[in-house]
Amino acid sequence: MNEQLTSLWQNSQFRIYLGTTAFTGTATAMQQLLLSWLLVGILLLPADQVGMVQALIGLPGIVLMLWGGASADRTDARSFLLKVYAVAWLFPLALFGMTEIGLLNIWTVSLFGIVMSTAISFSSPAQQAILNRVVGTDVQRGVTAATAVGFIVQMVGLILAGQMEIVGVGN
């Protein structure tokens, strides 16, 4: 049993997979906190409106997850994921631009959230397809490790995003 665990961690593809998913997971967690912060802290929406906006933002992602999974299964998941990530960084940049020109409002924040949700609905199935390929027969341990890393990086991302005012990102 210990030998199987060791062999999983000796798998360089698995370690690279964990590193890349940790990096993107941290960024996603930071963007999710940014979304809530913009709705509550900047736009000053009441809690019931924030809940409604966040529910509406998540809806397209749920619907598109099946399409994202089918797309990841039909193509090379790695190149598919690279395409998603090649454009995903543009969305926070666009939100920043909207903020700078004075167009930050519930619609631009909602659009950012919907696009982010859509990107996740395509990237998540591709990540899972890649995980299945890199762990070989040790799927259970691979999924367990990836899930643990996912939770850890969510916490790290939220902690980092919570410190942004220290470095000058404020209203």
What pLDDT shows up at residue 165? 76
Helix (H/G/I), strand (E/B), else coil: 137 = coil
> For 138-165, how does the pLDDT look when each residue is reduced to its tens digit (9 = 90+)?
999 999 999 999 999 999 999 999 887 7
What pLDDT shows up at residue 136? 87
What pLDDT shows up at residue 6? 65
Residue 142 buriedness (CB in 10 A; 0-12 / 13-18 / 19+): buried
DSSP states along 41-104: IIS---HHHHHHHHHHHHHHHHHHHHHHHHHHHHS-HHHHHHHHHHHHTHHHHHHHHHHHTT--
What pLDDT shows up at residue 20? 94
What pLDDT shows up at residue 25? 96
CA 110 to chain centre: 16
